[in-house]
Amino acid sequence: MLEDILVPLGICVVMPVMIVWLVFRSRNHTLDRKTEVMIKAIENGQEVDPSLFSSVSADAKASKTLKMQLMSKLQGGIITLLIGLTLLVVGLCGIDAAATGKWLTGVVCGGVLIAVGIAMIIMFVVGKKWMASEIEAEEKSVSGKE
């Protein structure tokens, strides 16, 4: 009886709170380390780079090229499409799906994921054609830096 309350409470309340707490703790720790470096640089009279305090995720996203961003859309689309197809097949051919009548959930969820996967693949194809000149310019600038 008590397990019926504690398990959903732990999954729905405690786990998200812990995840948010860990993410903020990690970001604060990173910011504190950067602050220490800045303070030491100021104490030694060195030049301070203000871009050091930009967020870590913004730096990681800025370092991704357009081609890499498009490829991540393709990858996400293919994975979503495959998960949707799997749910659809399991929903239609499930062992006890016909007996219990719960096949509709798998079919609907699978159909939605298939639609999202196809949309992401279409975004990749359209984005690749639309941003071809920007991708070429970015590749030339990257190869010029090396």
pLDDT in tens, 101-145: 667 777 888 899 999 999 999 999 998 899 888 888 888 887 776
Would you state the structure tokens that stand for residue 85, as one six-digit string? Answer: 């197809």
CA 17 to chain centre: 19
Match 């197809």 to its residue by tokens: 85
pTM: 0.55
Q: Is 74 exposed, middle or buried (0-12, 13-18, 19+ CB in 10 A)?
A: middle
Q: How many CA atoms lie within 13 A of 29 on its CB side?
A: 6
pLDDT tens sequence across 6-27: 777 777 888 889 999 999 999 8
One-letter amino acid for residue 20 of the chain: V
